[in-house]
Amino acid sequence: MRVKANVLNDILDLRGMTQKDLADKLSIDESYISQLIHGVRRPTELMMMRIAKALRIKPFTLFDADGHFEVFNDLAYIKFKKQDRGLDAKTKVPACVVDYRHKGSNEFFHVVALDDEVKKPLRLIKNFDAVQDFNVRYYDAE
């Protein structure tokens, strides 16, 4: 399993935490977190669960086994977002789709990030503190 580094950094930022804060919370060395982010190390299942619990997220949010994600209607969401931005559907830009739901709700919502927004897609979610769980799927120049 690999760590989705940009998602981990974004979650840390939104939680107001640093890599050191996370490491302290897990009683591990900060260098371990850095190595995960840079792909030098891969976490055990137990460590994945501990990291997810410490960040109050679901493990699948941070880790992917082989880079394959469920596409669902993502390409349609991306196409509509491009149209909203006045871009041609064939214009190639980095994109990602975030599915999320708020605490106490079974309804999932979607936000699409294009271009520079892809660096911090969770910022597009209104009232992030009320989010119960979410999933981020990235697409290169869709």
Residue that is last in its domain, among 64, 87, 104: 64
Q: What is the pLDDT of residues 47-90, one digit of tens each?
A: 887 888 888 776 666 665 543 334 436 767 787 788 888 888 77
For the ranges 7-11, 25-29, 109-113, the one whose mean pLDDT is highest: 25-29
Q: Is residue 69 a part of any domain in this protein?
A: no
- pLDDT of the residue at 2: 63
Q: Which residues are within 8 A (CB) of 109 and not within 5 positions of it... i.e. 6 or more apart?
A: 99, 100, 101
Same domain, 60 and 78: no
Q: What CATH number did the domain enclosing 32 receive?
A: 1.10.260.40
Same domain, 50 and 26: yes
Q: Is residue 81 a part of any domain in this protein?
A: yes
List, as one string, the DSSP characters of 74-103.
HHHHHHHHHHHTT--TT----EEEEEEEET
Structural domain count, the chain? 2
Contact 8, 38 (CB under 8 A): no
Domain that holds residue 51: 2-64
Same domain, 84 and 135: yes
When mean pLDDT is compared across 12-16, 39-43, 71-75, the lowest value belongs to 71-75
pLDDT level of residue 28 (50, 70, 90 thresholds): very high
Query: Partners of 139 in the beta sheet?
Result: 95
Q: Supply 5's token pair.
A: 């580094």
pTM: 0.51
Residue that is last in its domain, among 16, 33, 64: 64
Residue that is last in its domain, among 32, 64, 96: 64
Task: Identify the residue with better confidence: 76 or 23.
Answer: 23
Same domain, 53 and 28: yes
Q: What is the pLDDT of residues 80-136, one digit of tens each?
A: 788 888 888 778 888 888 888 888 887 778 888 898 888 888 888 888 888 888 888
Q: Give Cα 78 to chain centroid, integer Å.
A: 16
Q: State the CB neighbour count (10 A cutoff) for residue 141.
A: 9
Same domain, 48 and 98: no
Same domain, 83 and 40: no
Asked if residue 36 has pLDDT above 90, the reply is no
Q: State the CB neighbour count (10 A cutoff) for residue 13.
A: 13
Q: Is residue 52 a part of any domain in this protein?
A: yes
- pLDDT of the residue at 22: 95
Contact 103, 132 (CB under 8 A): yes
